[in-house]
Amino acid sequence: MTDAEALLATQADVAFGTPGAWVQVAALDRVAGSSVGDRAVHVLADQPVTAEVGVTLAPAHQGSGLATEALCAIVSILFEDHHMHRVFSQMDDRNTAVQNLFGRPGFRCEARQVEADWFKGEWTTVRYRGVGGGAAAGGAVGADPCQRRRRAWRRR
């Protein structure tokens, strides 16, 4: 069994938004219908209105805005359909592409933990970025930060 098949087997019975489970959601090219990457979504078991997300795009499709569109689509679903309070992501502090990706729809920097993670043979500094939250976070509870961007895409 390949890694991909093993991953799919673990997800067969897991519904999107199930607290405690990581779910991979494919990002498809709307014209070709082929997969260009995926989004990983994890609704926290002990905070079921908080979700963690990650995005990976195949190298051939990077640098075209597709990851931003894929991220915004999943964030909108989390806020509008699953009524999340806050969505966040954690990333290698040196990863400029992912910092830029999450910065575009307004994920604020919430924390930077120095050499907090032993990853691929070295200590890695981890940055946390998030959107949502209430007045304390400068936002409105339940507001979808990606709404404006999605309206622009629909008009294209």
Residues contributing to the site for ligand COA (CB under 6 A): 54-57, 62-68, 89, 91, 95, 97-98, 100-101
Q: How far is the CB of 140 from ligand COA (least distance, A)?
A: 25
Nearer to ligand COA, 67 or 74 (CB): 67
Nearer to ligand COA, 49 or 73 (CB): 73
Q: How far is the CB of 40 from ligand COA (least distance, A)?
A: 8
Nearer to ligand COA, 40 or 49 (CB): 40
The CB-nearest residue to ligand COA is 65
Measured CA to CA, the distance from residue 95 to residue 4 in angstroms comes to 25
For the beta sheet containing 108-119, the strands, ordered from the edge strand earlier in sequence to the opposite edge, are 22-28, 35-43, 50-57, 86-92, 122-132, 108-119
Q: How far is the CB of 20 from ligand COA (least distance, A)?
A: 19
Q: Which tokens hold the place of 155?
A: 């008009």
Among residues 73, 84, 46, the alpha carbon closest in space to that of 151 is found at 73
Measured CA to CA, the distance from residue 53 to residue 60 in angstroms comes to 22
Nearer to ligand COA, 106 or 141 (CB): 106
Identify the H or E element spanning 122: strand 122-132
Nearer to ligand COA, 84 or 98 (CB): 98
Residue 90 backbone zone (phi > 0: left; psi -120 to 50: alpha; other: beta): beta
Q: How far is the CB of 65 from ligand COA (least distance, A)?
A: 2
Q: How far is the CB of 131 from ligand COA (least distance, A)?
A: 14
